[in-house]
Amino acid sequence: MLVLLFQYTIPVVMLLCGVGSFVSVRKHLLSSLLSLEFIMLSVFWVMSLSIVTLGGDNFFVLFFLTLAACEGALGLALLVSVVRSHGNDNFNSFSALQC
């Protein structure tokens, strides 16, 4: 029972660290994207642990992993387009009034 509790403690701590990093560090777009990927990794870990514990199939976990990879690719494409248009990825250099 203690081992099962320890298995769920690490991903939850990872999730809280990722959310804390995402909320507190808002200077660069790349650090925000890395925090989102860290959150996705911890959610993937929790989902795979719970599905394996319940004895279910891993197809849903693979589908979630595919969506997380697509989200990462979309975030990197957005980062490249922002760096090409603005020259850096600082949130302070963005203006909502510019097109």
pLDDT, position 54? 84
pLDDT, tens digit, 9 for 90 and up, residues 8-62: 888 889 999 999 988 987 788 888 888 999 999 999 988 888 888 888 788 888 8
Give the 3-state secondary structure of the chain: CHHHHHHHHHHHHHHHHHHHHHHHCCCEHHHHHHHHHHHHHHHHHHHHHHHHHHCCCCHHHHHHHHHHHHHHHHHHHHHHHHHHHHCCCEHHHCCCCCC
* Mean pLDDT, range 69-92, rounded to an integer: 86
Q: Is pLDDT above 60 for 67?
A: yes
pTM, two decimals, is 0.80
Answer with the residue of higher pLDDT: 53 or 72: 72
pLDDT, position 70? 92
pLDDT, position 62? 87
If one counts every other C-beta atom within 10 angstroms of the C-beta of residue 75, the result is 17
